[in-house]
Structure 1
């Protein structure tokens, strides 16, 4: 066994540690932003957020480039790694009071609030399940499916709506097909891509109801990286001001919003106890407001 008995050996060892520290610092300044990799077949779910993130970097004049993490990550694992400043530099997710306490949020909603406008996925043989639903009380006879660590689960439960959860996003589609729960509320800007995915082949979108609760999807950063959060915030503000944010949003979602036919749906309003007080609801340019029927 090697023992560092001599001063020369100690100098060699300390030099090795210093080199490692320098390499670590170099890696931190390597010009790469790591984001959570999606599982195989789910890469499409990151396309829009990555496009907005790259736009923000470009508008801020940043040379940073984007790279996925080595392994795919479910949402909560990604947020934990981000909070620890380990292996990830950014995550985009729905906001909550708890998430804004442990992470730095750039309070510009990527989704313009549309992650709070929800259409139900249903098994194709139960397409008319919600046709008589007009109120929250009507909806309580049905069980929703959600991720166990998603803010949506707590939001639905706080409105006294039954919820069945899973730790895996993909398994929720299988559970819905097997009628382990009745409906799977999905954002109006994600449901159509999910239906075109192989896992959605036995499912349909409800045509009757639109759930709504105020929320936002933000870019989140470690509290140890306020510089990175500020760079992205500045870039997003520039993109909002020059119209490029809106053009990118429309490019990705205009067709989905037309397909959703929102003005023909019965809206059911839900309260969101997880919404932070700092949510910029006073800035109307940040939000999309569909024209819908009110109860």
Structure 2
């Protein structure tokens, strides 16, 4: 009779062989590493990209780690609830979000941070969602001094609220992802700074994006994996690092967000640059794309 060690080795070799052929039986599939990704259902283009980036990284590691599955779990949860669910590892075990200093014991993020950023810095480019009737008011803004006088909206627990306040902005952050647009329409605040890769998906008939004004603050987007699933985190860390080295991760970003990148590079776009006090001091503060800064920051 084979020992448990030999049985496990034989099973692993079988899985690797099946994975390399692109086929596996029901027994092998049950052993696949399963990533349950949180998708809140409101920003499909960002989530499509993040699932593609997750899948790309796992494909890079198929030979070493075997088969995998990615489950896209649709659920309208608050940001803090998502972190708790991922930490528990039952309903969800991976999500994507802004970089937090988990090494310093950030109380809002106890999961395992994957160090390779995704989205090529695009999360930090914030366009302004406003009520359509207010478009002329915002198109006349030329400086941060003007924008600081107008209350912005953000979600409860979002890092952006602290960044905006650090830069002297007024912020209303009592809402969550499900209520922010309603709060904007009801004039609880006057604009919602939102990532350029998300904003178009959030518009309604009464809302619009200010076409030529962008806020930028460095805000790397990363994956977080359940603290209960260190092997899943290890695999994703290895795979994303490989995808960054060979250029396939940046190529994926460029394919998914070609329109947004082209818009940001337009000479008509004015950029107001803010500081992010939460990042390490050696993290680049300047926008990665060569934008035209406003002359009056």
Above 0.5 in TM-score? yes
Structure 2 partner of 1:32:
34
Question: Which of 188, 196, 204 is the equivalent residue of 2:196?
Answer: 188
For residues 48-76 of structure 1, the C-alpha deviation after alignment (integer angstroms, 9 at most, x for no partner) is 10010001000111411111347442321
Task: Quote the Cα distance in structure 1 between the aligned partners of 2:199 and 2:87.
Answer: 29
Structure 1 partner of 2:68:
64
What is the Cα deviation at residue 202 of structure 1? 1.5
Structure 1 partner of 2:99:
95
Secondary structure of residue in 1 paired with 2:227: coil
Change beyond 3 A, Cα 1:210–1:70: closer
Task: Quote the Cα distance in structure 2 between the aligned partners of 1:134 and 1:126.
Answer: 15
Report the TM-score, using the length of structure 1 for normalisation.
0.78
Q: Which runs of 4+ in 1 moved over 4 A?
A: 41-45, 276-279
Task: Quote the Cα distance in structure 1 between the aligned partners of 2:172 and 2:248.
Answer: 39
Q: Tell me if structure 1 keeps the 8 A contact 2:37–2:95.
A: yes
Point out the more displaced range, 137-146 or 173-182: 173-182
Structure 1: 5+ residue stretches without partners? 1-27
Secondary structure of residue in 2 paired with 1:128: helix
Residues matched between the structures, number:
261
Structure 2: 5+ residue stretches without partners? 1-29
Q: Tell me if structure 1 keeps the 8 A contact 2:46–2:197.
A: no
What is the Cα deviation at residue 178 of structure 1? 2.6
CA RMSD between the two structures: 2.9
Task: Quote the Cα distance in structure 2 between the aligned partners of 1:290 and 1:226.
Answer: 38
Q: Tell me if structure 2 keeps the 8 A contact 1:263–1:290.
A: no
Point out the more displaced range, 210-219 or 100-109: 100-109
Report the TM-score, using the length of structure 2 for normalisation.
0.77
Secondary structure of residue in 2 paired with 1:112: helix
Q: Tell me if structure 2 keeps the 8 A contact 1:36–1:72.
A: no
Task: Quote the Cα distance in structure 1 between the aligned partners of 2:281 and 2:186.
Answer: 39
Task: Quote the Cα distance in structure 2 between the aligned partners of 1:141 and 1:209.
Answer: 16
Spell out the pairing of 1:143-158 with structure 2 (5 A cutoff). 143-158=151-166
Change beyond 3 A, Cα 1:226–1:290: farther
Question: Which of 229, 235, 240 is the equivalent residue of 1:225?
Answer: 229
